[in-house]
Amino acid sequence: MDHFDGKVAIVTGAASGIGKEIARALLARGATVALADNHAANLATAADELGRQKTEPHVVDVTDAQAVADLVRDVAARHGRLDFMFNNAGIAVFGNAQDMTLEDWNRLVDINVRGVIHGVAAAYPLMIDQGGGHIVNTASVAGLVPTPSGVGYSMTKHAVVGLSSSLRIEAARYGVRVSAVCPGFIDTPIVQNAKVIKLDRERMLREMPVRFHSPVALAQAVLHGVERNRGIIVFSGFARFGWYFHRLSPAFMTRMLAAGARRNPMLAE
């Protein structure tokens, strides 16, 4: 029997990008998927595209703890359980740290960290009570290695990795699994919608030293990792390369990033 067939999943940030492709992949494997996003129009379009027979669109702002709790409770009540919670919603801000406002820092934390916490706080006790489940938190390779010109973003993704890795140990005794997804550069709207501070967005994207990967390929890798209960799911050769060398020699990785930063337009005003 397929690992996802007949299972119930919630995916946040499901109106586009990684979230929509994870939902699509889950549906193809036989799951019922609750799509959650705060963009109502995009969410409706995604639900129509994916097919409303096994999708349930919910307009939810992940920064609202009560709204996320209500979502989890309502989906579990309707289907009798919740098997997968994909905390995927997130934003990005790029620019040098000294140019970021307190509002920039707070918005990153509210969505990228508190949004995940709200999903965990709602789904984890329920999964303990039902005797199992899998929480999947979308982080980034920026949560595994230093990220100049993305300090705030990297901070939040390191927090998601730390939360996931620590909770994974606690949750195992209850039969609940926890994974962190750490992709490299993925071609999604988050790149185009990211706030950039004193940067040339088009030049930055044009001169990136690595290619962007399809969210479709990432979604397949995510389900593969979830099925095998991997704690850290790293996608793309570039991301694995960076993670490997940072673990092997943090000093070497820091020097390499510093050298690259001097040439990368992400650091050029």
Query: For the chain, which domains are there?
Result: 8-267 (3.40.50.720)
Q: What sign does the CA torsion over 59, 64, 70, 76 have?
A: positive
pLDDT digits 0-9 by tens, 201-227: 667 666 666 667 899 999 999 999 999
DSSP 8-state secondary structure symbol assigned to residue 113: I
Dihedral angle computed from the Cα positions of residues 241, 247, 249 and 252, in that order, rounded to the nearest 10 degrees: 50
Catalytic residues: 153
Which CA distances in Å does 172 have to 14, 124, 147, 156, 205? 27, 12, 31, 24, 41
- Checking if the pLDDT of 260 tops 80, the result is no
Q: Six-digit token pair at 102?
A: 């307190």
pLDDT digits 0-9 by tens, 130-165: 999 999 999 999 999 988 888 999 999 999 999 999
